[in-house]
Structure 1
Amino acid sequence: MQALHDRPPPDELDREKGVICSRLGEDADTLHPSDSISNRNTRGDAKVREVRCLDLRIELKKKDAYYELPYSYATSRKWIILTVIFLIQTSMNLNTSLYSNGLAGISEEFGISLQTARWGAAIFLITYAFGCELWAPWSEEFGRKKVLQASLFLVNIWAIPVALAPNFATVLVGRALGGLSCAGGSVTLGMIADMYEPATQQVAVSFIVLSSVGGSVLGPIIGGFVETYLDWRWCIWIQLIFGGFVQVLHLLCVPETRCTILLDRIAKRCRESGVAPNLYGPNELRPVLQSLSWKVLMRTWGRPFHMFLTEPIVLALSLLSGFSDALIFMQIQSFVLVYNQWGFSKVQIGLAFIPIGLGYLIAWLSFLPAFKRNQRARDLKPRSEHAQYESRLWWLLWTAPCLPIGLIIFAWTCSGPPIHWFGTMVGSAIIGIANYSIYMATIDYMICAYGPYSASATGGNGWARDFLAGVLTVPATPFVSNIGGKRHLEIANTILFAISLLLVAAVYLTYIYGPTLRKKSPYAQHLAKNATQDESGHSRPPSRISDQEEMRL
C-alpha cells in the first residue's frame, strides 16, 4: 500500500521528476535569482509560474508540486486516512469520558468522596483544552505524523501510572499530563486542511466532528459494562489498549500530510537525483529555530484566546458550542441520579447514552444534503457575502432549537415513575442532534469567515468546548442534587433550558447580522482586504493555493 511509506518507489520517482521538470524547466539548476520560470503545462493549459530564488536556491512552492501533494490523493486513499483520524479522535475523547465509570472504585479504594474523584475527569478536560493549542505550532514545523505519534505515545504512557496508581494524587498527576499530551483536533483537523481545499472539505470535516462528539458517549456505553464486571482500573487499561491500537494503525497506514514537509522531501529527492540541484523546500530555506522564536510561539499560542475574547462571532459561537458540549459531560454525571429512579443497573445507565449517539448520527446524515444546498447557493451568488458565509449556518437555524427542545423534554420526563423513561431518551436524542449540529456548523462557518485565521478561530471554539466541559464536570452533580425539593431534577434541567435559549439566539443574530459583525472584526477585515476569490465560488486552482492554517477541534 502506498500509504504505508513516505518514500515513493522508483517508477513514482521517475514520474515525479517529469512533473517537477515540466514545472521548473529543464535548466532549473542554471537559474539566476532574477529569472522567472515558465511552466508549459502538459495538460494543454499554458500558465506562467514564478519560483522565488534565494541566494541561488529555488524555493519549491505548493503551486509547483500541487499534483504530488495530498490535495491530489485518490479518494480511496483520503478516506483511509480519514478513517484512521476518526479512530484517533474517538480514542482521545474516550479518555475524557470513560474515566467517570471508575469513580465509585476510585472513591472506595482511596477513601475519598465521589465529588473529589470527579476531579480526575475535570483536570483531564481542562488540560486537554490547553494541550491542543500547545501542540499546534509543532505540527506545522515538524510534520503531522511525528507530532501526532509523539502525542499518542505520551497519552498512552501517562495512562500507565494512572492504571497502577497507589494513591489519588498519582491519578490526578497522570490525568493532567495525559490531557496536556493530547494534540486533539489541532493536528487531526489540520490533516483535513492538508488534503482538501476549503471549498471541498465540508464532508470530511463533518466526519471527523462525528468522531469528536461520538467518543464522549462511547465512554459511558462501554463503561457501564466495565463498572459492573471489572475493577475500576480497567477503565484506564481499556483506554490504553485502544490508544495503543490507533497509534500503531496511524504509524502503519497514514503518511505525512503536512505540505511544507512534503515539499522539503520532494526538493531533496530532486537534488539527489540531479533533476534540480538548487531546489529547496520551504523549511530548508527557513530554519526551524528561526521560525519558532519565542515571540512567534507566544503569538501563535495566544491568538486563539485573543480571538475568543475580542471577536464577537468567535465568542458567541464558541460559547454556544462549549455549553452544548459541556452539557453532555454534565449529563454523564447526572444520568445516575435520573435513571436510578427507574431502578436501572449500571449497564442500563450506560446504554441510556445510545440515544445521544443516534442523535449524532442523524445530525451527521442530515448535513450531507445541506452541504449540497450550500454549494448551490455559493455557485449561484458568488459575489454575495451572505451566500458565501452565512449560508453555511442555514441548516443550524433548524437544528439549533433542538437544544432547548431536547432539554425541556428531558427536564419534565426525568422525574421517575409513573412517567416512562422513554421520554428522557427522546429528549437525549434531540439534544444529540443539536450538539453535533452546533459544533459542525460553527466550525464550518469559522473556517470560511476567518480563512487564514481559521486555525485560531476554531481553536477558540475547541478550547471553549473542552474547558467548559472540564469546569462544569465537578459541579454538575451538586447543581442537580442541591437545588432541593421534590422537583429538583426538573428545575435543574429547566435552568439549563433557559440558558440554552439565550445561546441559541446567537445563531440567528449571527445569521442576520454576520456581515455587520465581520466589518467590526479586525481579523475578518484584514482578510477581506487581502482575500481573492473565484467568481464561481469553486475550489481555487493550484496556482492560487493559500497557506491556510490548520483547523482545530
Structure 2
Amino acid sequence: MSMAAESIVQTDPNAIGWDGPDDPANPMNWPDNKKWATVILISLMTILTPLGSSMFAPGVPDIMAEFKSRDETLATFVVSVYVLGFAFGPLLAAPMSEIYGRAICYNVANVAFVIFTVGTALSQNMGMMIAFRFLMGFAGSTPITNGSGSIADMFPIEKRGRAMSVWAMGPMLGPCIGPVAGGYLVQYLNWRWVFWIMAMAGGAISLAGLFLVNETYHPKLVGNKVRKLRKETGNPDLYNALEDQTTTEKMRLKLAIIRPLKILFMLPSVSLMSLYVAVIYGILYLMISTFTFVFGANQYGFSTGTVGLSYIPTGIGCIIGMVLFGALTDMEVKKRQKKGETPVPEDRLAIYMIVLAGVTTTVSLFWYGWSVQQKVHWICPMIAVAVFCFGLMGVMMTVQIYLIDCYIQYAASVIAALTVFRSIVGAFLPMAGLSMYNKLGYGWGNSLLGFLCLILAPAPLFFWKYGARIRARFQIKL
C-alpha cells in the first residue's frame, strides 16, 4: 500500500485498506509456499501458451502440402501469426486485470485458449488455420502479460528477480522446446495431433486454475473486503483506499484500456527499451521459423523429427540466462540494501550485465550465420544459437524487471506495452527471413541482424546513467 493510501486509511474511518503492514491477507505477506505455488501455476500457463507459437513448426511443410500452397511467405506467417495475437491480446488482458483482478482474466483466457486450439486442430484450409492461430495467440497472451503483475503483487523488490526468472521460463522456453516434441509428433502421427495434445494440456491447466489460482491484485482484494464490510456494518460510505475515488468505474476502465499504449508511446524508457527487446525477440522468432529449412533440406538434411531436436540449444541458452541474470539483478539490489541505501530501478541495469548480454547476442549472430553458410558441422551453429538465447535472456530479464520497478503499480500494463511491440516485430520480421537468406545468404543475412543488435545494445546503458532524470521529466497520468 502506498504512503498516500496509508495516510488516508489513518485519517478517514471510512477508508478501507490493509490492516497494517503485516496483514496476512496482503499477498506480500503470504507464506512463501503459497506465493511460489501461484508462481509455478502461472509459469505452467506461460509455458503452454507459447508452445503454440512453434510446436508445430516442423510440420509446416506437411501443412503446406495438405492445403496445396507453395508460398514461402505464407509458410512463415502461419507460424508467426500466433505472435501477432500476442500483440493485440495484452491490450485487453492488462487493463482487464487492473480493473477486475488477475484470477478471472487467467481463467477466462485459459478456457478461450482451449477452444481456439480445438478450432486450429479442425482447420480445413489455410485461412481457417491462420484465423484460429491468431485467436490462440490472443487468448494465450494473458498469462504472459499479467504474470509479471502477479509477481509484483507478491514479492518485494529484493526477491522479484528470482521470481521473474521462474515465470519467464514460459515465454522463452515454450517457443524453444515445443518443436522438439512437435517434430516427432508430426513425423509419426500428423500435425493436427500437436494441437489436440495442446488442447488436452490446456484443459487440465484450465481446470487446475479454476481451483488453485489465487487473486493477487491489491485493489481487487481490498475491494472485496470493502463489499464484505458494507454488508456486515450497513455503512454504504466505506470505500477502497487503493482506488482513485475521483473517477468512476467506467472512467477507470477507459483509462486502463489506453494505459499500455500511453506507456509505450509517451515514456521514452519504455519506448526505446521496447524497441531493443522487440528486435532481439523478432530475431529469435526469425531463427525459430527458419530452422526447419536451415537444418532440414536446405543445409543439413535433417529429418522432420531430427529438425525438432535443433531447437534444444535455444532452451539450454534460455535456462542458463534466466537463472544467472535473475540472480544477478536481485544481487545488485541486495548490495545497495546492505549499504543502508534505498534501491533504485537502475540497479537492475548493472554495466557488466548489459555488456555481457549485448556482446553475446551480437557475436552469436555472426557466428551462427557464417557457420551455417559454410556448412560447418551442425554443432557449431547450434552452440551459437544457445549463446544468442543466453544473451537474449540477459536483455529480457534486466529490461523487464527494470521497467516493472520503474512503474510498479502498473506492472501488467508495462509488460503489455513491451509485449505489444515485441510481438508485432516477432510476427513480421520472420516473414522476411527466407527471402533475406535467399538474397544475402545465411552469412550476410545474419550479419545484418548482428549489426542491428550492435546499434541497439547501448540503450540500457543510457538509462542506467540517465534513467532517473528521464522518469522525473516524463511524468504522465496513468
Q: 1:67 to 1:373 in 2, by over 3 A?
A: same
Q: 1:195 to 1:454 in 2, by over 3 A?
A: closer
Gaps of 5+ in 1: 1-38, 40-46, 527-548
Q: 1:519 to 1:139 in 2, by over 3 A?
A: closer
Structure 2 distance, partners of 1:451, 1:271, is 29
Identity %: 23
1:286-325 → structure 2 map (5 Å cutoff) = 290-293=248-251, 296-325=252-281
Name which of 218, 231, 242 aligns with 2:190.
231
Q: Secondary structure at the match of 1:335?
A: helix
Retained in 1: the 8 A contact 2:161–2:327?
Answer: no
Give the residue type in structure 2 aligned to 1:312. P
Retained in 2: the 8 A contact 1:407–1:494?
Answer: yes
Name which of 102, 106, 118 aligns with 2:76.
118
What is the deviation of 1:344? 1.8
Q: RMSD of aligned C-alpha atoms?
A: 2.9
Give the residue type in structure 1 aligned to 2:451. A
Name which of 300, 321, 330 aligns with 2:286.
330
Q: 1:409 to 1:181 in 2, by over 3 A?
A: same
Retained in 2: the 8 A contact 1:102–1:235?
Answer: no
Structure 2 distance, partners of 1:326, 1:242, is 27
Q: Secondary structure at the match of 2:24?
A: helix
Provide, for residues 333-376 of structure 1, a one-character-per-residue CA deviation record: whole Å limited to 9, x for no partner.
Answer: 22233323232222222111111111111112213541343123
1:235-314 → structure 2 map (5 Å cutoff) = 235-270=194-229, 276-278=233-235, 280=238, 282=240, 290-293=248-251, 296-314=252-270
Q: Secondary structure at the match of 1:459?
A: helix
Name which of 428, 442, 446 aligns with 2:403.
446
Provide, for residues 246-288 of structure 1, a one-character-per-residue CA deviation record: whole Å limited to 9, x for no partner.
Answer: 111212222222333333444455566x5x453856399999x
What is the deviation of 1:453? 4.7
Q: 1:444 to 1:383 in 2, by over 3 A?
A: same
The question of 1:178 aligning with 2:131 is answered no
Retained in 1: the 8 A contact 2:81–2:130?
Answer: yes
What is the deviation of 1:514? 2.8
Q: 1:366 to 1:148 in 2, by over 3 A?
A: same
Name which of 443, 449, 468 aligns with 1:496.
449
1:426-445 → structure 2 map (5 Å cutoff) = 426-445=383-402
The question of 1:347 aligning with 2:300 is answered no
Query: Over alpha carbons, which structure has the higher Rg?
Result: 1
The answer for the alignment partner of 2:3 in structure 1 is none
Retained in 2: the 8 A contact 1:124–1:175?
Answer: yes
Retained in 2: the 8 A contact 1:101–1:226?
Answer: no
Structure 2 distance, partners of 1:361, 1:456, is 26
Retained in 1: the 8 A contact 2:99–2:256?
Answer: no
Structure 2 distance, partners of 1:437, 1:83, is 21
Q: Secondary structure at the match of 1:181?
A: helix
The answer for the alignment partner of 1:462 in structure 2 is 419
The question of 1:108 aligning with 2:68 is answered no
1:36-185 → structure 2 map (5 Å cutoff) = 50=10, 52-53=12-13, 58-64=14-20, 66-113=23-70, 114-182=72-140, 183-185=142-144
Q: 1:305 to 1:470 in 2, by over 3 A?
A: same
Q: 1:506 to 1:455 in 2, by over 3 A?
A: same
TM-score by length of 2: 0.88
How many pairs were matched up?
A: 464
What is the deviation of 1:438? 0.8
1:467-482 → structure 2 map (5 Å cutoff) = 467-482=424-439
The answer for the alignment partner of 1:373 in structure 2 is 331
Q: 1:48 to 1:503 in 2, by over 3 A?
A: closer
Retained in 1: the 8 A contact 2:58–2:307?
Answer: no
Q: 1:389 to 1:265 in 2, by over 3 A?
A: closer
What is the deviation of 1:95? 1.5
Structure 1 distance, partners of 2:8, 2:453, is 54
What is the deviation of 1:48? 11
Between Structure 1 and Structure 2, which shows a larger proportion of helix residues? 2
Q: 1:126 to 1:400 in 2, by over 3 A?
A: same
TM-score by length of 1: 0.77
Retained in 1: the 8 A contact 2:101–2:215?
Answer: yes
Structure 2 distance, partners of 1:285, 1:435, is 37
Q: 1:449 to 1:138 in 2, by over 3 A?
A: closer
The answer for the alignment partner of 1:44 in structure 2 is none
